[in-house]
Amino acid sequence: MKRKKFSVFLTSEDILDISLEIEKKQIGKFALNYRALVKNKWVPIYRVDNFHGFLHEQRLWRTKEPIPLDDEEYYTRNDVVDRYIDQISNNFQKYKSYYKESSNKKKKK
Amino acid sequence: MKNQKSEKIKGIVKSIVNEEIDLPNDAMVFLDPSTLIEIFTKKRLELISLIIKFKPKSIQGLADIAERKKQAVDRDLKILERLDLVKLEKKGRSISPKIEKRLILMNLSELFSIGDPKVKKSKEGAIEAQVFVDGVNINKKMGKKEA
């Protein structure tokens, strides 16, 4: 089994960290972790992975609690990874703004 | 309309899974050359090379070698530190910049052209990203002499 870990710069202030476990040209376990530079610090904002035996996401502007996801509609794990790469690439700016809003609200309280 | 970023990332993942490219672990992949240029300005690359060559013991020392203001050097170093490219070690009152990673600048499309031409043909257009990587294995893996 091969493990790969690399970081993709979506912009100079937005990074998607990708971890893959690959066996016979198929992805087994994976994690996609989106982080952004907020006030000079890299903060994790969104994560999806199956490292704990089930597919789940974490919307870290809300809570650290994992939200279980259904992957039955996909043919392979490779398709699941593709689907969440799409989701993050299309929504990362929105997620970052949610994170900023949420941390501003927490400060006001 | 398809998201170009997404298509490029999926192309890279697919190529890794299918063993068409082999990125070293902790590689930093840039989808857009403008992002690469934004981070690795000429002056920041110069700082990296001066740290390797002269091993300055302080930021002021590095600023003197680079013939730049300390404040400007400090700002650039902090940006490089955030990316784990430079480590700023506190020694008493002074801060000593260190480079702990080896950096190689590669264009991913070059990786395809070095390998099997069929791979290049089948993947043409899918990979246009630039990659800035830590490690020496890419060149060895692809049968290219190290710089």
Domain-embedded: residue B92: yes
In a shared domain, residues B18 and B58: no
In a shared domain, residues B73 and B123: no
Query: What pLDDT shows up at residue B135?
Result: 36
Task: Give chain B positions within 8 Å (CB) of A17.
Answer: none
In a shared domain, residues B28 and B50: no
In a shared domain, residues B63 and B28: no
Per-residue pLDDT tens over the stretch A94-109: 999 999 998 888 777 6
Domain-embedded: residue B78: yes
Query: What pLDDT shows up at residue B146?
Result: 40
Is residue B73 within 8 Å of residue B41, measured between CB atoms?
A: no
Contact check, Cβ <8 Å, B5/A10:
yes
In a shared domain, residues B41 and B86: yes
String of DSSP letters for A8-60: EEEETTEEEEEEEEEETTEEEEEEEEEEEEETTEEEEEEEEE-TTSS-EEEET
d(CA B120, CA B112): 5
**Radius of gyration, CA atoms only, chain B:** 18
The residue segments making up the domain with residue B137 are: 4-32+102-141
Alpha-carbon distance B27 to nearest alpha carbon in chain A (angstroms): 5
Alpha-carbon distance B43 to nearest alpha carbon in chain A (angstroms): 17
Contact check, Cβ <8 Å, A7/B26:
yes
Nearest CA in chain B to A8: B29
Domain-embedded: residue B147: no
- Please report, for chain A, the start and end positions of each structural domain, with discontinuous segments joined by +: 2-104
In a shared domain, residues B75 and B43: yes
Average pLDDT over chain A, rounded to an integer = 92
Structure tokens at B9: 């990332």
In a shared domain, residues B19 and B67: no
d(CA A41, CA A15): 12
Per-residue pLDDT tens over the stretch B10-63: 999 998 999 888 887 888 888 887 888 888 888 998 999 899 889 999 999 999
Which one of A1, A5, A9 makes the best mutation probe of the B interface by having the most chain B beta carbons within 10 Å? A9
User: Which uninterrupted H or E stretch holds B56?
Assistant: none
Identity of the residue in A12, A37, A42 whose CB atom sits nearest the CB atom of B35: A12
Q: What is the dihedral of CA B51, B56, B57, B63, to 10 degrees?
A: -100
Per-residue pLDDT tens over the stretch B98-129: 987 766 666 665 554 433 333 333 344 443 34
In a shared domain, residues B19 and B45: no
Query: Could you tell me if A37 lies within 8 Å of chain B, comparing CB atoms?
Result: yes
For residue B134, the SS3 value is strand
Q: Which amino acid is at B37?
A: I
In a shared domain, residues B84 and B63: yes
Domain-embedded: residue B71: yes
pTM (two decimals) = 0.80
Alpha-carbon distance A92 to nearest alpha carbon in chain B (angstroms): 11
Domain count, chain B: 2
In a shared domain, residues B88 and B50: yes
Is residue A92 within 8 Å of residue A36, measured between CB atoms?
A: yes
Query: What pLDDT shows up at residue B122?
Result: 35
In a shared domain, residues B28 and B76: no
Strand partners, B132: B28, B105
Domain-embedded: residue B146: no
In a shared domain, residues B93 and B50: yes
